């Protein structure tokens, strides 16, 4: 993306909108998830199967960084995505 001076700057654009549910993790879950992924504060459940670690999500004016992506039960139907709130 270029700024008003023509310099290239890093930015993000909306790629698509997905359906899912985000919930805040409890303190115990935050500690448990921190061992493998760093500090995950929220979890997204979605049927979108192509979520990757480079993705970011915007929900209710908060940005979330993907920390881990797991295929629940390895059925290829439900993804569990660990997220961290970023400012």
pLDDT tens column, 54-79: 899 999 989 999 998 999 888 888 99
Cross-strand pairs, 20: 46
Q: DSSP state, 2?
A: B
Cross-strand pairs, 70: 80
Q: What is the pTM of this model?
A: 0.73
Q: Confidence band (pLDDT; 50, 70, 90) for 15? A: confident
pLDDT of amino acid 34: 52
For the chain, give the mean pLDDT: 84
């Amino acid at each position: 993306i270029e700024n008003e001076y023509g310099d290239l700057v890093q930015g993000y654009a909306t790629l698509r909108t997905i359906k899912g549910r985000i919930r805040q993790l409890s303190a115990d879950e935050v500690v448990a998830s921190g061992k493998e992924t760093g500090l995950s504060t929220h979890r997204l459940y979605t049927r979108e199967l192509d979520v990757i670690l480079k993705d970011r999500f915007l929900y209710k004016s908060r940005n979330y960084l993907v920390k881990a992506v797991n295929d629940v039960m390895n059925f290829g139907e439900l993804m569990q995505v660990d997220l961290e709130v970023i400012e």
